[in-house]
Chains A and B, each alone.
Chain A
Amino acid sequence: MRLYLAVAIAGMFAGLPIRADASGDQGEVNIYSYRQAELIAPLLEEFTAETGIRTNILFLKKGLIDRVKAEGRNSPVDVILTVSIGRLDNARRAGITRQVENPKINANIPAQYRDKQNNWFALTTRARVIYASKERVAQDTITYEELADPKWKGKICSRSGQHIYNIALFASMIANKGEQFTEKWLAGLKNNLARKPAGNDRSQARGIFSGACDLGIGHAYYVGLMQTNDKKPQQKEWAKSIKVLFPNSEGRGTHVNVSGMAMAKYAPNSQNALKLMEFLSSAKAQELYAERVFEYPVKPGTKISDIVKSFGKFKPDTLSLEEIAKNRKAASRLVDKIGFNDGPNS
């Protein structure tokens, strides 16, 4: 028995001493990312080529913030990369970020796209648009409010109402129009759904392609991903069947969400972290990143990819991201309350 115990203990404590070097090695920077490592890889390669600083990236999901919080002052992470305002704001409130005062970064990223105390910075914006069937939808403008109009009954597809992207959209509606209006609006939208909310944004495009619905709610960048999918040419067909409508273009503008970065409170390589953050806000990185993910760079004057340009003119809602973050909880509760995810006829 002693032998077995020894083996067990050895296996648990000594068997796998894989540790990130958090000793403050001059030559590296550690990244925790909600964004897939592969999307960021070309950027990081460029960064290493320019500065000689090595990068270690770990792709995490649910629990990233709680993990960093628990790691405390021994956390190896320097820079946190994430998508959606909800997660950036959660990170700030969990106290795992630190304020970064850097003239270069501040010059690159407009105040609208960073935290008041500079706890986080947006890198790209993504528009939550309406996919519309080219064949069956004649109009070329639309508003979010209109989605609750009974004329769309049985014609709208959406992913889960509790998905972080939809929560941000609904939160922006609360911030703009108030909670009561949003509740009624959501109930109307729910009644107009063609089917139970499920799948991802791309599934909604396929829904239109299949004829199940005429409108879908999704991020614009998926259209870019589908258009350029050489491995699954079928998805090019889905993309061809839809047009991108930027809602509320004639009013307050289209709801935007962001991808962003923050420096970890206990970043062991804070100097390198700063260099990486400066780099990510630079024109070169902004162009490279936005091109790769089909999103809009936040640095004014950066070149936008041709595919993104082809979606059409885009006027972003100037509502502050913090306002959206503040209303997320209320939005999520409304989705529960009206049973949005149960779909139509319930």
Chain B
Amino acid sequence: MIRDQSGKNGLAATGQSGKKPSLLRRLPSRYSVITFFIALLIVLPIISLFVLAMGGDGQSFTHIVKNVLPRVGPTTIIMLIEIGVLTAIAGFVSAWLVSFFDFPGRRIFSWALMLPLAVPTYLAAYGFVEFFSFTGPIQTAIRAIGGYTSIRDYWFFEVRSTTGAAVVLSLVLYPYVYMAVRAIFHFQGAHIVESARSLGAARRRVLVEILLPMARPAVVLGVTLALMEAINDIGAMEYLGVETLTFSVFNLWLNQDDMAGAAQLALFLLIVVFVLIRLERWARKGRKLHDERTHSLKAHYQREGLTGWQALAAVVFCALPVAFGFGIPFFVMAGYALDYLGEGISPQLLEALATSIAFATIAAAVTMVLALIMVYSVRVSGSKMTEFLVRIASVGYAIPGTIVALGIFLPLAMFDNYFDGLMRQGFGFSTGLLITGSGATMILAYVVRFMAMGEGSADNGLRKISPRIDMASRSLGKTSLQTLRKVLLPILSPALATGFLLVFIDSLKELSATITLRPFGVNTLSTYIYDFASRSRVEETGIASLIIISVGIIPVILVMRTMLDRR
């Protein structure tokens, strides 16, 4: 954390005493203006939601309060709590084990624990239902062993339930927690643990009194991302038969023809998320999380070797999430792919692959550039208003993709038509749908949806760098821009690369916004899969599903390599 003890933010406050106060005073406004416009672009769908919400006549209000919230509210809350607990435990414990202990397979687990991140939630849901279904391998084996013929002869758990959904989502979302905790342990944990141990502190004491508090912000960051992704999910929820608030948003909009009611409910959801995040930040206000000795951990750190049952327990704990979160969906899809291998890979599939990679790369690059500008602007200007906008921009991740897509599409199409009208009137020619007719809206949707990851990574990276470094650079006569380029960027690059890859993976998996926004002739891997899945013929997407998972794996491994040791 870069807050200085006076409670003021960033360099503007501390910079007043610098060598060139006039320059420093002038700078913030320029940054604030740029940030303001970037943030505006990113909160565009939220503004759209507000506009849509105004259009209602309140006719659905009673219905929502009486018939929807009492059922759907508790389901949503229970599922989120379950996901929060599960991802926190799985992510924290596995990161703790991998960071501080040595046991068989540790180095493999170190990156393998990230693999489930490459599996889209809709594929995970499908894979789990298939794997644990009546005709899946487990139940078939149970029947073979027990000599049963009907599902009524034995008890078996149901994946299609609230808890089932929570488990499935947790298994592919815990890597957000794992990654964040792993990073904080990597950069800050080792030397403290070493000193504590050398002073004779017991393992449990180190864990409870040092590591847990240290990891808390990372756990919160990871859990927040996981929960926002769970909240915005509709594909997996529909398939698993779980009615969350997002399900109701779609139901109001599509079945009950109440766009305004849907927008109101979506906003309500968003406000709840926002308040929760603010509460958390408020709760840890005043704590100094910034550690200036970030570079003290290095190769000489000696992990504590585990043997016997402790080693076994560690292996099992790390293996389970990987086996379930990655292994099961991969196994199911690979089975399908084998059935269809004879048909080979179609040219359309290759084209979809190329399109996916191109869009995801551009989206990730744009997101990181914008995130860096925003985050740096907050650091330099210390403007509360700017910070607030940046925070709101990140909450966009909790909005379902389809809603984000419409929230972008509606105002931009309005602009397109307005501009087209002007051109027709003034110059007698039509510009058509200048922006919305191109793939630019898809990029924008990805940027908006995944800014939370871009902003989070850039922010975390920047917070780890002491403001004294900026001050040193500035006092040597460098401008803030030069400071960013020459001094901060090189230190920041791992954090930025992490953000880039996270946005890349998520853009690759993105389905709902893509399908709503794509122009003629544009197919991505996820729309290719959806084309089949929506006709309940997921088995025909085996190859495409494997490709989407595999393309995701490469950046997952890269994330770990950029972020962590290269030993």
Binding site for B on A (CB under 8 A): 1, 4-5, 7-8, 11-13, 15-20, 22, 30, 36-39, 56, 58-64, 66-67, 70-76, 86, 90, 93, 159-160, 162, 164, 167, 195-203, 206, 209-212, 222, 225, 231-232, 234, 328-329, 331-333, 336-337, 339, 341-342
| Shortest distance between the CB of B379 and any CB in chain A (Å) | 14
B532 within 8 A of A: yes
Asked if B129 and A16 sit within 8 Å, CB to CB, the answer is no
Selected contact of A336 from candidates B68, B161, B254, B484, CB within 8 Å: B68
Q: Are A332 and B255 in contact (CB under 8 A)?
A: yes
Q: Which of B407-447 contact A (CB under 8 A)?
A: 409-410, 413-414, 416-417, 420, 430, 432-433, 435-440, 442-444
Contact between chains at B432 and A206 (CB < 8 Å): no
User: Which of B340, B430, B443 meets A231, CB within 8 Å?
Assistant: B340
A63 to B410, CA, bound (A): 11
Cβ distance A66 to chain B, nearest Cβ, rounded Å? 6
B134 touches A333 (CB 8 A): no
Given A63-B402, A74-B417, A8 and B437 touching (CB < 8 A)? no
| Extra pairs beyond A22-B433, A162-B251 (12, CB < 8 Å) | A1-B481, A4-B373, A11-B365, A11-B443, A58-B519, A61-B530, A63-B516, A70-B414, A76-B520, A195-B160, A211-B134, A341-B243
Q: How far is the CB of A40 from chain B (nearest CB, A)?
A: 11
Q: Tell me the bound Cα distance from A160 to B149 in angstroms.
A: 27
Whether B370 lies near A198 (C-beta < 8 A) is no
A19 to B238, CA, bound (A): 32
Asked whether B150 lies within 8 Å of A62 as measured between CB atoms, the reply is: no
Contacts A37-B531, A74-B417, A341-B241 given: A61-B515 contact, CB under 8 Å?
Answer: yes
Q: Which of A11, A198, A209 contacts B241 (CB 8 A)?
A: A198
Q: Is B135 interfacial (CB 8 A cutoff)?
A: yes
What's the dominant secondary structure at chain B's contact region? Answer: helix
* Distance to closest chain B CB from A7 (angstroms): 7
* B133 and A333 within 8 A (CB): no
Partner of B255, one of A1, A7, A164, A212: A164
A236 CB → nearest B CB, Å: 12
Q: Which 5 interchain pairs have the tightest Cβ spacing?
A: A198-B241, A211-B150, A210-B134, A16-B439, A20-B520
A255 to B439, CA, bound (A): 41
Interface size on B, residues (CB 8 A): 84
Does A199 lie within 8 Å of B256, measured CB to CB?
Answer: no
Decide yes or no: A18 and B519 within 8 Å by CB, A162-B251, A196-B241, A211-B151 being known contacts.
yes
Task: Decide: A36 near B534, CB < 8 A? Known: A8-B369, A196-B161, A211-B150.
Answer: yes
- What residues of chain B lie closer than 8 Å to A36, measured between beta carbons? 531-532, 534-535
CB A314 to nearest CB in B, in angstroms, measures 22
Looking at chain A's contact residues, the main secondary structure is helix
Assembled-state Cα–Cα distance A337/B63 (Å): 8
Does any Cβ of A come within 8 Å of B339's Cβ?
yes
For A330, the closest partner residue in chain B by CB is B256
Nearest chain A CB to B154 CB, angstrom units: 10
Question: Which one of B247, B432, B512 has the greatest number of beta carbons of chain A within 10 Å?
Answer: B432
Residue in B closest to A202 when the chains form the complex, CB atoms: B536
A12 touches B518 (CB 8 A): no
Q: Are A222 and B409 touching (Cβ within 8 A)?
A: no
Is there contact, CB below 8 Å, between A206 and B133?
Answer: yes
Q: Tell me, yes or no, whether B4 is within 8 Å of chain A by CB.
A: no
How many angstroms between the C-alpha atoms of A209 and B370 in the bound complex? Answer: 53
Residue B547 CB within 8 A of the other chain: no
A342 touches B71 (CB 8 A): yes
Give A205 Cβ to nearest chain B Cβ, in Å: 10
Our pick among B512, B520, B530, B531 for the contact of A30 (Cβ within 8 Å) is B520
A-B pairs under 8 A by CB, number:
209
Q: Which of B151, B414, B437 makes the CB contact (< 8 A) with A210? A: B151
- Give chain A residues whose Cβ lies under 8 Å from the Cβ of B435: 13
Cβ B416 vs Cβ A74 within 8 A = yes
CA–CA, A11 and B439, complex, Å:
10
Indicate if B147 sits at the interface (CB-CB under 8 A): no
- Partner of A18 from B248, B416, B522 at Cβ < 8 Å: B522
A39 to B536 CA separation, bound complex (whole angstroms): 13
A to B CB contacts below 8 Å, 24 in the list? A11-B366, A13-B438, A13-B440, A15-B440, A16-B362, A16-B443, A19-B432, A19-B433, A58-B518, A61-B534, A66-B410, A67-B409, A67-B516, A70-B413, A71-B413, A71-B436, A199-B241, A209-B134, A211-B152, A232-B539, A329-B257, A336-B67, A336-B251, A339-B71
A210: nearest chain-B partner, CB-CB: B134
CA gap between A73 and B416 in the complex, in Å: 11
Is B239 engaged at the interface, CB distance under 8 Å to the other chain?
A: yes
Q: Verify B433–A74 contact, CB threshold 8 A.
A: yes
Which residues on the B side are within 8 Å of A63 (C-beta)? 402, 405-406, 409, 516
B20 to chain A, nearest CB (A): 19
A60-B241 CB under 8 A given contacts A15-B362, A164-B255: no
Q: Is B304 positioned at the interface, with any CB of A under 8 Å from its CB?
A: no
Of chain A, the residue at the smallest CB distance from B234 is A62
Min C-beta distance of A344 to chain B, whole Å: 13
A94 (CB) vs chain B CBs: closest residue = B257
CB–CB A4/B369 < 8 A:
yes
Whole-angstrom CA separation of A222 from B535 in the bound complex? 9
Taking the closest CB of chain A, its distance from the CB of B231, in whole angstroms, is 17
Q: Could you tell me the distance in whole angstroms from the C-beta of B418 to the nearest C-beta in chain A?
A: 10
- What residues of B have a CB within 8 angstroms of the CB of A328 in the complex? 255, 257
Which residues of chain B are near A164, meaning CB under 8 Å?
254-255
User: Given the complex of chains A and B, what is the CA–CA distance between A89 and B243 in angstroms?
Assistant: 25
Complex Cα spacing A13 to B259, Å: 29
Say whether B521 contacts A59, CB under 8 Å.
no
User: 8 Å CB contacts to A: which residues of B221-269?
Assistant: 238-241, 243, 247-248, 250-251, 254-257, 259
CA distance A139 to B531 in the complex (A): 37
| CA distance in complex: A266, B153 (Å) | 59
| Contacts of B193-244 to chain A: CB distance below 8 A | 238-241, 243
In the complex, chain A residues whose CB is within 8 Å of the CB of B537 = 225
Q: Say yes or no: A19-B438 contact (C-beta < 8 A), given A38-B531, A61-B534, A209-B134.
A: yes
